[in-house]
Amino acid sequence: MNMDEQALVLQIQAGDEEAFAKIVHVYKDKIVNYLYQVTGDYQKAVDLSQETFLRVFFKANKYRPIAPFSSWVYAIASNLAKTELKKRWRIGLVSLEDVPPAVEISTPSEEASDSGLIRNLRQALDALSPRYRIPVVLKDMEGYSQEEIAQIIKRPIGTVKARISRGRNILKKQLEMARTGNVSFQKKEIFDGRF
């Protein structure tokens, strides 16, 4: 954590609104994108991001500088995402038809998204169980190390390694099935309801 951020955290712990606004400005795109990759729903990602930042302020006194501040923010976001996915699982919104498509979002890599592989990867990722999706997204999309992911999801590093490996294997299997034309991205096959 750099010194500026550390100072901002101390100011937030003292109740400074301006410091909070700066933190929101720095992290807003990262957190919205992360929650979008995990939930697959842009509007829900925005709502959860707002709640994440509110918790960052109101729970700031619980933060201990033993881990990077960004890990703590991502941990709050991950917990909110897990709660949301559990809620969805309980009320039965598990089929891909029920997940709102993110068609309204402008995608910077429009031409890349057009390729079949990227599209299949997106579908396979959305269908992946959250217990694997969160570590895979944090590792392969957000660029966190396994140690940092272990801090974020509060699991041993061995568990993190296993989940990343297992998640990647499931994704690979799904992509191979998509290549051979035997595609079936059904959450009930991949997602067993465990978080």
Partner 1 sequence: MEDFSLLSKLDRVTAPPDFERKVMSQFSARREALPKMRRALAFRFSLAGAAAALLVCFVVVNMFVLQKGPLSESAGRTAQGTLSPKDFMPISEAVKYSPEIRKASYEPKTAYILEQVSDASNVLIKY
Q: Does the footprint of partner 1 cover residue 171 (CB under 8 A)?
A: yes
Query: What DSSP designation does 138 have?
Result: I
Q: Does the footprint of partner 1 cover residue 21 (CB under 8 A)?
A: yes
* Residues 132/82, Cβ–Cβ less than 8 Å: no
Q: Does the footprint of partner 1 cover residue 80 (CB under 8 A)?
A: no
* Residues 70/28, Cβ–Cβ less than 8 Å: no
The minimum distance between CB 87 and partner 1, in angstroms, equals 20
Q: Which residues contact 155 (CB under 8 A, 6 or more apart)?
A: 163
Q: Does the footprint of partner 1 cover residue 161 (CB under 8 A)?
A: no
Distance CA 134, CA 112 (A): 23
The minimum distance between CB 140 and partner 1, in angstroms, equals 4
Residue whose tokens read 């918790």: 55
12, two tokens: 């937030």
Contact set with partner 1 (CB under 8 A) = 17, 20-21, 24-25, 28-29, 31-33, 36-37, 42, 45-46, 49-50, 53-54, 57-58, 102, 105, 107-109, 112-113, 117-118, 121-122, 125, 136-137, 140-141, 143, 168, 171-172, 175
